[in-house]
Amino acid sequence: MPSATESVRINGGMDFPSRVLWHLAWSPRILYVIGGLLALCGATALRSPYGLLFGLTALVVRWKATLLVNEKSTGIIDLAGTTVSSAGAKRVGIELADADCTTVLIPGRSRAPFGVRPAPKYTLSAVYLCEPFFDTYSGALFTLPTRALQLGTTAEEVYFRHVSAVNQRDGYIEITLNRGNKPKRIETGNDPTGARLLDILRTRLRTPTIPKAVPIPTLTEQAPPEAQAPLTISTSDDERYCYIRALLSKTGQTCSAVC
């Protein structure tokens, strides 16, 4: 598991040619330069305007690179979210299997190259809902062109008994704490998981868990043990006698016992 301040590279299972196409899709200027050089060399070699068609080779590569990014980006972004949720669980000190985790993905304002659908940069945060409290882990940044994930360092824990209200604002959820503390804000942006997180928080506050009373153990009276008949020695003819004789070497006397 990476540390909280480590930068993680999300590979996504791509081989070397796919990584080259990925880079060219996000930096298409180099393809335009190569396409221009190919067109110029083709026209010079053929001494005909048809030689300019060699420049279309770069455009074909650009098209394939764009298709690769649009196809692979969803899986890579999901891997980044999974990495954030795992790192955040370690940061807040809980087991991921014991909490209801919601990962919020907020795209940045930067624009992607022409034809590329996903945004280049994202902000990720995770919220872990447990029985008496919830934890928030924020500050993770993911850059899709380089597939570099910078993990966050901010983690907070709030107990539900300290929450007095949950409000939905434009792009974030505001949690009002009692005792005059500063409201807590969870950034959600336009991520659909923000609505799910809001519903879970409201459900937890409206139906708080009531601790179960430990039942008092009841003592049951035990019946006294049955009296056993006293052991009697039979005087019949077939009774057996066991004699143990010990000879005292010093005194020369003989001792006997009956059992």
pLDDT digits (tens, 9 = 90+) for 68-114: 999 999 999 999 999 999 999 999 999 999 999 999 999 998 899 99
The reply to whether 62 falls in a domain is: no
Compute the distance between CA of residue 82 and CA of residue 80 in angstroms, rounded to an integer.
Answer: 5
Distances from the Cα of 124 to the Cαs of 25, 74, 91, 205, 252, in angstroms? 24, 15, 15, 25, 101
Q: Output the pLDDT for position 257.
A: 44
Q: Where do we find the tokens 């901010």?
A: 154
pLDDT at 258: 44
Show Cβ contacts of residue 48 under 8 Å, excluding neighbours closer than 6 positions: none
Residues 50-80 pLDDT 10s: 888 888 999 999 999 999 999 999 999 999 9
Is residue 32, in this structure, part of any structural domain at all? no
| Token pair belonging to 152 | 């966050």
**Residue 125: domain span:** 7-12+73-206
Q: From CA 102, how far away is CA 81, in angstroms rounded?
A: 10
CA-based radius of gyration for the chain: 40
Q: Residue 155 region, left (φ>0) first, then alpha (ψ -120 to 50), else beta?
A: beta
Residue 253: the pLDDT is 52
- Tell me, what CATH number does 112's domain have? 2.30.29.30
Q: Whose CA is closest to 32, among 80, 75, 5, 65?
A: 65
Please give the residue that has the higher pLDDT: either 251 or 51. Answer: 51
251 occurs within a structural domain: no
Measured CA to CA, the distance from residue 107 to residue 249 in angstroms comes to 105
pLDDT of residue 259: 41
> 111-121: buried (b, 16+ CB within 10 Å) or exposed (e) per residue?
ebbeebebbbe
- The answer to whether residues 136 and 125 touch, using CB atoms and an 8 Å cutoff, is yes
Answer whether residue 97 is part of any domain: yes
Helix (H) or strand (E) holding 166: strand 163-169
**pLDDT (tens digit per residue) in 201-250:** 998 888 765 545 455 556 555 655 565 555 454 454 444 444 444 444 44
Residue 88 lies in a domain: yes
Q: Given this model, what pLDDT does residue 245 score?
A: 44
pLDDT exceeds cutoff 50 at 39: yes
Strand partners, 176: 165
- How many domains would you assign to the chain? 1
**Residue 255 within any structural domain of the chain:** no
| pTM for this model (two decimals) | 0.74
Residue 27 pLDDT exceeds 90: yes
28 located within any domain: no
Beta bridge partners of 135: 128, 157
Predicted confidence at residue 142, as pLDDT, reads 97
Nearest-angstrom CA–CA distance, 68 and 76:
12
Q: Is 176 among the domain residues?
A: yes
How far is residue 241's CA from residue 228's CA, in Å, rounded to a whole number? 24
Paired tokens of 41: 């060399």
Task: For 156-206, write each residue's pLDDT tens digit.
Answer: 999 999 998 999 988 999 999 987 778 899 999 989 899 999 999 998 888
User: For residue 223, what are the CA distances in angstroms to 133, 220, 226, 228, 230?
Assistant: 49, 10, 9, 15, 21
User: 117-148: per-residue pLDDT in tens?
Assistant: 999 999 999 999 998 999 999 999 999 999 99
